[in-house]
Amino acid sequence: MAGDRALSSKQLAGRIHSVYCKDFVSYSEITFHPKHYLNVLTGPNGSGKSTIVSAIILGLGGEPILLDRSASVADYIQSNKTSATIIVRVYGRTPNTTETFRRIINSNGLSTFSVNDKDTSKKNFLAAVSSFNIQVSNLCQFLPQDRVQDFSKMNPQELLLNTMSSVCDEDLINSFNSLKQMRTEQANVHANREKEKSDLVKKQKRLEHLQMTVSQYKEREEVKQKLQVYSAKKLWVETQAGEAKAAEMKTQVKNAKTQSDKLKNQHDKLLQSQEQIEKEKESLRKALLEKQNIKKSRRTATECDNLNQLVENKIYELETLNKSRPLIVSELERAKESCAAARGKAMEQYSRRRQLEQKLNDEMIPEITAYKLKIERLRNVKMQKIDEIRAKNPNLVVAMNWLAQNKQRYKLNVYDPMILELTVQNHEDAKFLENVVAQRDLFAFACEDKGDMSDLINELCVKQKLGVNVIYCAPSDRLVYSPKTPIDDLRSFGFRSYLVDLVTGPIPLINKLCASYSIHNIPIGTEAVGNYTSSIPKAIRVYFGGSKKFVVTASRYRSDTILTESSIRAKNQLITVDSQQLALVMKQCSEAVKESDSIKNAITQTDNEFERLQAVAKDEQEKRRKLDQKIAHFNSLKTEIETLQKKLEALRNSDSLDCLETNFCNSLHKDLKKIFDADAELCSCLKAIDRLIIEKNMAQTKVSIYMLQHETQIEALKESEEQSKAATRDFQQLLQCLENQISDVNKRKSAIQGLCHGEIPTSSKFPFKKEFRELENIDLPELREAIHDFQARLECMKSVNSEAISSYQGLQNEVKQLEEGIQESVNQAKSIESGMSNLYDKWEPKLNSLVETISTKFSEFMESIEYVGEVVLSKTDKYDFDSYGIQIMVQFRRGLQLQPLDKFIQSGGERAVSIAIYSLSLQHVTHVPFRCVDEINQGMDATNERHIFDLLLKEATKHGSAQYLFVTPKLLRDLNYNEHLCVSIVHNSKTVCHGMQFPMA
């Protein structure tokens, strides 16, 4: 380890001067001084090599997730300590200076940062670290032990970003980000333009549809306006005719008024004469009324006798009914009680039926359906597993479907993933296999022929890029593995069987699990196993006791064994049939069906009983109706008797008949007395008879003349009254006609105003003067015919909503705005495309140059170890920058094509070689001050490891190369070395005493 070749201050800047750790993981206190070029850290596993890499990453501000070991930074503090200190010193930008980065980690998970012994925020701390081109999160610069496999998991896009970041060309990265942003803007502008075009087409179609509607609307409005003008003209013609007729009727009303008044005066005079005659008639009416009252009283007496006889008959009928009433009432009460009881029982049966039917529909039928579905699910577990896989890993289902259709292509058997091929009879035992076999193998396809395996990998992983795993299992028809210790020897410790005995499936798959995981030597027991851990034979390295897993491992440095105990849980991945649960569910379903049948029988019985009770209730109701009719007749008869009795009493209390009899007797006495007086005077009167007869004749003559005159006067009065009424009626009719005519004229004027914006033709503001002048020569019938024609045309036209016009105008504005927006979008897209094209022309050559340089070195290094490889820039389209990526293409077997580096295609050693060579290829283009690679040689064979070390030595020790920290647990014999290589051996043993010094050179 000779002295370093002189480096300039610029070349030294950012390289690690020293790493100091205190109370960090396994180190109480340590200082590591790397050399300027290649530094190799080696030592046994667990000695603390990777701890130094962890200290560098965390000390420069990295997060624990980058190490993929623990989620909390506090877990890196040494046991029984409250804090840990990391100091990373790097060379400064000026000669003979260093920059110090310190991080103190506290037990609460918080950290304190300082730069050059000055406390600062984490943001400023990371900015200071980044100023030296140190990128702790870039796998191209820092590749911790637990992140080696993550490198191969990076997709081409992530690899491109990390590669550009490690080159430290800000212009290249910024241009790439700008191009992606421009592409996103271009895509957004295009999407918005397409959306606007789609909206424009829709709105134009809508506009065309509305154009027809608007034309119909305008045509309809024109017809409506013409109809309005013609209707107004018709009304005006009718108004003028009505006004002329009203003027004529006013003259007729005036003449009728004069004639009516004249006839009324004549009638009043005749009416006065008639009043004298009416007075004489009144006296005769009184005499006639008296005779009529006598006749009425006699008729009332007869009616009273008839009524009395009717009352007696009704009373007899009532007495007869009274005798049978208690029996009828008693029978009626019994009928009511019987009817109510029948109804009550019927309602009870109806309620019981509803309860049974509700229980059947709401409880039993859904419960039986649920049991049947549950039984079906328990019996068809495989389909459920496939559905679960489809949701979580759809590519696996696609691969299974393809394999099912193409199995004839393969020589020997090709099996679906183990989770579908293997079955565990008891679902409680599935967790043991799930916690032994890796997920990668559980979800892997298995081939009995290696040629079939290669072809299947090429088809599914390379061509279809489904990312599935394929393993090889030797063909066999019997189980070739047996336990080292018979299970009977282990039953005393609580074991019941070996794991292999719990699994059923294809024999080749079970042999594969025995070979890979020794499931034939993993016993399964109860919780009691934990009490016998010290007595279990040492040959058994893994075993289960209840929900606990026990693993026995041998120490690398001592002869002791370490027993690790951990809890396990079911992952529900394997196909298991829970026979106990299935039997229980089937039993519950059978019981539910029996209960459902009993409920159906009870419903049928209830229906029959309900129908019988309905018939009984109907008969009792009919009996009750007949008894109610008898009681009602009894009550009505009683009421009728009371009414007749009241009427009879009123007639008996009446005194009109007695009064008339008394008056009649008194009048008779007076008349007899007058007769006697008249007889006395008769004689004297007879003497004067002759004289009186003459006078009588003369008086009769006068009376005859008076009566003749009186009859003439009555006829004249009637005639006068009729003439007066006729004249008044004519006057009223003419007056009413005049008022109607005037009202009609006013209505027509109002209608004209409604049609003509509140104006009439005589107004100076009338809006249709021109149209009215054109219609002057058209008479009323022609106007009516034209109006009828316009109305018919309107009825034939489609009714159009006035809102369609507003919609049409709004759509016109929207279409105009969309057209302007599309044009603006086109201009914007052209501007973006122009800027993107200019920037792309500058960026793309630099990127191609970078990739070509890396590819040249990669191909050169691969060829030096007899492999083939290249690095290509992958993309789907020139401007699809999200698809830009770096694809590492490798060939490790002759005769095969170059294949992309993928965890499903290459082995772990092949991936490690590819990653190591790609990392070396970056040495020529990156500007990072140092690199850290932890155990990248894991999985390599001796030949590849020697080649990689030689390449690393050659490239990492060239003058000006970045500082390189290479961590490995072993070094091959007879490796090549030079003066720029520093090998540091990490010691961790009881023989290392405190203060022991090791030579530094």
For 432-478, the pLDDT digits (tens) are: 888 899 888 889 999 999 999 999 999 999 889 888 999 999 999 89
In this predicted structure, which of 301-310, 603-612, 713-722 has the lowest mean pLDDT?
Answer: 301-310
Checking if the pLDDT of 522 tops 70, the result is: yes
Q: What is the pLDDT of residue 776?
A: 73
Q: What is the pLDDT of residue 292?
A: 46
Q: What is the pLDDT of residue 566?
A: 87
Q: What is the pLDDT of residue 622?
A: 77
Checking if the pLDDT of 777 tops 80, the result is: no
Q: What is the pLDDT of residues 934-960, one digit of tens each?
A: 776 666 777 777 877 777 778 778 787
Q: What is the pLDDT of residue 908?
A: 75
What is the band of 2 on the pLDDT scale with cuts at 50, 70, 90? very low
Structure token digits, residue 165: 């970041």
| 599 Cβ contact list (under 8 Å, min separation 6) | 356, 359, 360, 364
Supply the pTM of this predicted model. Answer: 0.42
Task: Give the C-alpha distances (Å, rounded to integers) separating 169 from 38, 93, 142, 159, 875.
Answer: 24, 19, 18, 15, 21
Checking if the pLDDT of 561 tops 70, the result is: yes
For 176, the 3-state DSSP assignment is: helix
Average pLDDT, stretch 396-405?
A: 91
**935 Ramachandran zone, left/alpha/beta (phi>0; psi -120 to 50):** left
24, 84 Cβ separation under 8 angstroms: yes
* Distance separating alpha carbons of residues 434 and 440, to the nearest angstrom: 11
Average pLDDT, stretch 90-112?
A: 90
What angle do the packed helices 170-359 and 579-653 form, to 10 degrees? 60
789, 783 Cβ separation under 8 angstroms: no
Structure token digits, residue 773: 């002048």
Instruction: Give the 3-state secondary structure of 432-481.
Output: HHHCCCCHHHHCCEEECCHHHHHHHHHHHHHHCCCCCCEEECCCCCCCCC
Residue 40 burial (CB count, 10 A): 22
Q: What is the pLDDT of residue 298?
A: 47
Structure token digits, residue 946: 């020697």
What is the band of 994 on the pLDDT scale with cuts at 50, 70, 90? low
Q: What is the pLDDT of residues 113-172, one digit of tens each?
A: 999 989 999 899 999 988 888 877 766 666 665 445 556 667 888 888 877 776 656 788
Task: Give the C-alpha distances (Å, rounded to integers) separating 515 from 141, 366, 478, 498, 510.
Answer: 39, 50, 14, 15, 9
Average pLDDT, stretch 852-876?
A: 85
Cα-based angle 693, 695, 696 (whole degrees, multiple of 5) = 60
Structure token digits, residue 967: 């961590």
Instruction: Give the 3-state secondary structure of 681-750.
Output: HHHHHHHHHHHHHHHHHHHHHHHHHHHHHHHHHHHHHHHHHHHHHHHHHHHHHHHHHHHHHHHHHHHHHH
Checking if the pLDDT of 681 tops 70, the result is: no
What is the band of 381 on the pLDDT scale with cuts at 50, 70, 90? low
**259: closest CA among 627, 734, 708?**
734
What is the band of 917 on the pLDDT scale with cuts at 50, 70, 90? confident
903, 893 Cβ separation under 8 angstroms: no
* Distance separating alpha carbons of residues 885 and 161, to the nearest angstrom: 8
Residue 620 burial (CB count, 10 A): 20
Q: Is the dihedral of CA 488, 494, 496, 498 positive or negative?
A: negative
Checking if the pLDDT of 498 tops 90, the result is: yes
What is the band of 410 on the pLDDT scale with cuts at 50, 70, 90? very high
* Distance separating alpha carbons of residues 458 and 29, to the nearest angstrom: 52
What angle do the packed helices 170-359 and 803-864 form, to 10 degrees? 120
What is the band of 428 on the pLDDT scale with cuts at 50, 70, 90? confident
Average pLDDT, stretch 576-604?
A: 73
Lookup result for tokens 């399964």 = 524
Distance of CA 65 to the CA centre of its chain: 38
442, 419 Cβ separation under 8 angstroms: yes
* Distance separating alpha carbons of residues 293 and 304, to the nearest angstrom: 16
Q: What is the pLDDT of residue 650?
A: 66
In this predicted structure, which of 174-188, 473-487, 552-566, 871-885 has the lowest mean pLDDT?
Answer: 552-566
For 28, the 3-state DSSP assignment is: strand
Specify the amino acid at residue 784.
Answer: R
| 46 Cβ contact list (under 8 Å, min separation 6) | 556, 988
Q: What is the pLDDT of residue 14?
A: 86
Radius of gyration of the chain (CA): 62
**Which of the residue ranges 426-435, 499-508, 895-904 has the most confident prediction, judged by mean pLDDT?**
499-508
Task: Give the C-alpha distances (Å, rounded to integers) separating 216 from 205, 529, 802.
Answer: 17, 94, 11
Q: What is the pLDDT of residue 171?
A: 80
* Distance separating alpha carbons of residues 54 and 38, to the nearest angstrom: 18
DSSP 77: B
Q: What is the pLDDT of residue 686?
A: 60
Checking if the pLDDT of 692 tops 70, the result is: no
Checking if the pLDDT of 1 tops 50, the result is: no
Q: What is the pLDDT of residue 173?
A: 80
- Between 240 and 833, name the one with better pLDDT: 833
Average pLDDT, stretch 820-826?
A: 86
Q: What is the pLDDT of residue 3?
A: 42
Instruction: Give the 3-state secondary structure of 935-989.
Output: CCCCCCCHHHHHHHHHHHHHHHCCCCCCEEEEEECCCCCCCCCCCCEEEEECCCC
Checking if the pLDDT of 640 tops 90, the result is: no
- Between 739 and 654, name the one with better pLDDT: 739
Distance of CA 930 to the CA centre of its chain: 55
* Distance separating alpha carbons of residues 48 and 27, to the nearest angstrom: 8
In this predicted structure, which of 285-294, 386-395, 649-658 has the lowest mean pLDDT?
Answer: 285-294
Mean pLDDT of the chain: 77
In this predicted structure, which of 38-42, 170-174, 181-185, 645-649 has the lowest mean pLDDT?
Answer: 645-649
Q: What is the pLDDT of residue 717?
A: 63
**433: closest CA among 572, 530, 533?**
572
Q: What is the pLDDT of residues 58-96, one digit of tens each?
A: 898 888 877 766 778 888 888 888 899 999 999 998 888
What is the band of 655 on the pLDDT scale with cuts at 50, 70, 90? very low
Q: What is the pLDDT of residue 736?
A: 79
- Between 848 and 909, name the one with better pLDDT: 848
Distance of CA 976 to the CA centre of its chain: 69
* Distance separating alpha carbons of residues 727 and 264, to the nearest angstrom: 9
